[in-house]
Amino acid sequence: MSIWTPDAITRFRQLLAEGHSAKNIAPIMTRDFGVEFTTGSCNGKAWRLGRPDSATGARRYRPPRSPRRNPDTHWIAPFAKPTPRKAVGTLGIMDLDSTTCRWPFGDDPPYLYCGDTPFDGSPYCRKHTKLAWAPYAVRERRV
């Protein structure tokens, strides 16, 4: 037989309405009805009655709201976040990757590299692709 008789439920609702927590309601119910009501049973009953917040005194978990999006901005994947680049011409060999122009500057080590955005599948940027494929005389004048 359940401890939750219609009288117990009525009293429980009354205590909830008065703002008591499940922890406070349990001993009152135990005293009034001569049956042990635990805090857990009161929490469960409050939940089943649709009043979970009132009995526990705790707030129900709600996932955080997503920030309001400006419809004019476009969604960008987190992994697409650009990393800050060094200034063009200041990259060392360890800074080079598939997204940096590999045109070296200088004749003696340590070499610095262009680092600008590569052009159309070339390992060099637009400017250095033109230089790389220019006749030797033109290349010597422009570097």
CB of 136 to Zn ion, least distance (A): 19
CB of 88 to Zn ion, least distance (A): 7
Tell me if 102 contacts Zn ion by CB under 5 A. no
Could you tell me the CA-to-CA distances from 85 to 63, 79, 89, 114 in Å, in that order?
A: 36, 16, 11, 11
Report CA torsion sign: 59, 60, 63, 66. Answer: negative
- Of 37 and 103, which CB lies nearer to Zn ion in the complex structure? 103
Q: Which stretch binds Zn ion (CB under 5 A): 4-12, 28-36, 38-46, 118-126?
A: 118-126
Tell me if 116 contacts Zn ion by CB under 5 A. yes
Residue 105 · residue 113 · CB < 8 Å: yes
Tell me if 101 contacts Zn ion by CB under 5 A. yes
CA-wise closest residue to 91 among 106, 104, 109: 104
Q: Report DSSP state, residue 123.
A: S
CB of 113 to Zn ion, least distance (A): 8
CB of 78 to Zn ion, least distance (A): 29
Q: Which of 26, 103, 112, 118 binds Zn ion (CB under 5 A)?
A: 103
Residue 131 · residue 101 · CB < 8 Å: no
Q: Mask: binding to Zn ion, 123-142, rule CB under 5 A, as x and -? A: --x--x--------------
Could you tell me the CA-to-CA distances from 140 to 20, 135, 143 in Å, in that order?
A: 87, 9, 6
| Footprint on this chain of Zn ion (rule: CB under 5 A) | 101, 103, 114, 116, 125, 128
